[in-house]
Amino acid sequence: MRRAAPVLLAGVAVVAAIGFFTGTARPAELRGYLPVADDDGALRTAPTQRDMEAARYAERRAGQLAALEGMAAIENADAPRDPAAYAATIAQRQGTRAYDGAPPTVPHAVDQHGAPACLACHAEGLTVDGRVAPMMSHARFESCLQCHTTSSSGPPRTAGLAPSMSEVSSFVGLRDPEHGTRAWPGAPPTMPHRSFMREQCQSCHGARARGLLPGHPWRESCSQCHAPSGTLDQQPRGTLAPLQGLRVEGR
């Protein structure tokens, strides 16, 4: 036992020496950790209301500039007013509607099973082979053909159905007012139509408009100057029906 003790101590010393020199041979490397710079320990202050508004309006300004750049890429965005183009547009518009204010008919064959087929062209609007597919003037609805009937007989290989009505309707719709009224010469005209289902003015008056293009298609808030018509958007004045139990003073 006494003879083995020196050998054991020598082995322990050798292992300790190897461990010491191995551990101090190179500096320790940090793995999976990055030191964070400390800004003298100060806490960050909350942004001011002015900075928050600046950031919000900066995003809106960038979106408006992008819209202007896209509008500048369209050829007729700065086209002057053309009376002949206006008359042709009005005539074409009347040809696709049963009466003024009615939903326009679909001037092409339709073979769809849902709204996405229509939204492919009419969600943002585009020009295909010289023909303009205007963007929707209202919010998205799933059943487009419920209001927009087809002027053709459906798919190209489908024969049209024979008329089944024996009576001819005598309904007479509204007439095209052509222009809105003005409060005084030089004032912005009012909308010559209802604003319901026509919230997106650029659908007819945007950069792709032909004949209905205003001199300022880049402006965003149309109703700020062009007020809705009180006759078309509001119920006309009339006599209320008598209510039971209601007594009018003086009678």
CB neighbour list of residue 194: distance below 8 Å, 6 or more residues apart = 101, 228, 229, 232, 233
Model-wide pTM > 0.75: no
The torsion of the CA quartet 234, 235, 236, 241, rounded to 10 degrees, works out to -160
Q: pLDDT band at residue 5, thresholds of 50, 70 and 90?
A: confident
Nearest to 122 by CA among 103, 137, 135: 135
The torsion of the CA quartet 57, 62, 68, 74, rounded to 10 degrees, works out to -150
pLDDT of residue 111: 74
Flag whether pLDDT at 169 surpasses 60: yes
| Amino acid occupying residue 162 | A
15-50 pLDDT per residue, tens:
887 777 776 666 666 666 666 666 565 667 777 777
> Does residue 105 or residue 69 have the better pLDDT?
105
The mean per-residue pLDDT over the stretch 151-155 comes to: 62
User: Exposure of 224 by Cβ count < 10 A (0-12 exposed, 13-18 middle, 19+ buried)?
Assistant: exposed
Flag whether pLDDT at 51 surpasses 60: yes
Distance CA 83, CA 148 (A): 29
Look up tokens 């205003």; give the residue: 214
Do the beta carbons of residue 63 and residue 56 sit within 8 Å? no
Q: How far is CA 103 from CA 53, 149, 209, in A?
A: 41, 8, 18
The mean per-residue pLDDT over the stretch 3-21 comes to: 77
Phi, psi dihedral angles at 128 (to 5 degrees): -125, 115
DSSP 193: S
pLDDT of residue 245: 60
Distance CA 133, CA 121 (A): 6
Flag whether pLDDT at 229 surpasses 60: yes
The mean per-residue pLDDT over the stretch 213-236 comes to: 81
Q: How far is CA 208 from CA 107, 139, 191, 221, in A?
A: 18, 19, 20, 18
